[in-house]
């Protein structure tokens, strides 16, 4: 675990969250992401296929960085690690979950909604935090408001929930945003229809937006 760098994994500034109902979809979708140029993804533990999907990708595509998402219990953290996940995420801030991740030296991104949660998470050593649900919380204006008081702590956020190709640029222009995430790159509909080409095209378009940000 210690050799994995979360900062390096997020360098491309995009973290797709891809939920699998069937783990056999995992490899072709991961291959589509890699073909588009993206080498990081989150697989939420919202279905029983999550573990098998992570194991399949890590075994066959070691160049892909894979995180286990929606980790709500200590048991799920252990399952994610055993499956081969290199990092984890949660939608909320649970100090017991964070402590377990820390004990296992498992790179982890807790979800936060309030200034108090941000401070507590930072105090526990988590300087990369997930803002969820981003748009419902106020989106870009909320993160702008957080920039002033928390700039001194150097907290970096990953907004998820309502982020898409149309608004991702505005998020990424904020100094306290390290990456954006969400499911729009590989929707349930695209996965169900095995439309891997459209998934690849979505990722190419998103990566193009990040290049525009980097060049500005």
Residue 42 among the catalytic residues: yes
The Cα–Cα gap between 142 and 176 comes to: 11
Which of these, 45, 54, 46, lies nearest to 25 by C-alpha position?
A: 54
Out of 13, 51, 100, 130, which one is annotated catalytic?
A: 130
Which of these, 198, 183, 196, lies nearest to 14 by C-alpha position?
A: 183
CB 20 within 8 A of CB 26: yes
The Cα–Cα gap between 41 and 183 comes to: 10
Residue 8 among the catalytic residues: no
Out of 13, 42, 51, 100, which one is annotated catalytic?
A: 42
CB 40 within 8 A of CB 46: no
Q: Which residues are catalytic?
A: 42, 130
């Amino acid at each position: 675990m210690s050799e994995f760098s979360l900062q390096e994994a997020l360098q491309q500034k995009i973290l797709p969250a891809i939920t699998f109902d069937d783990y056999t979809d995992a490899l072709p979708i991961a291959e589509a992401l890699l073909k588009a140029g993206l080498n990081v993804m989150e697989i939420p533990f919202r279905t029983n296929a999550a573990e098998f999907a992570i194991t399949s990708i890590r075994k066959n595509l070691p160049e892909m960085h894979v995180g286990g998402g929606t980790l709500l219990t200590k048991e799920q953290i252990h399952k994610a690690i055993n499956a081969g996940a290199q990092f984890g995420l949660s939608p909320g801030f649970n100090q017991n979950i964070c402590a377990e991740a820390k004990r296992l030296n498992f790179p982890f991104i807790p979800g936060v909604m309030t200034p108090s949660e941000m401070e507590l998470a930072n105090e526990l050593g988590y300087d990369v935090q997930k803002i969820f649900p981003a748009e419902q919380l106020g989106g870009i204006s909320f993160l702008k408001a957080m920039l002033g008081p928390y700039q001194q702590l150097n907290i970096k956020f990953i907004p998820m929930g309502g982020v898409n190709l149309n608004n991702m640029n505005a998020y990424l222009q904020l100094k306290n945003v390290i990456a954006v995430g969400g499911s729009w790159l590989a929707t349930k509909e695209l996965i169900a229809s095995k439309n891997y080409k459209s998934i690849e095209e979505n990722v190419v378009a998103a990566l193009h937006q990040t290049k525009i940000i980097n060049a500005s």
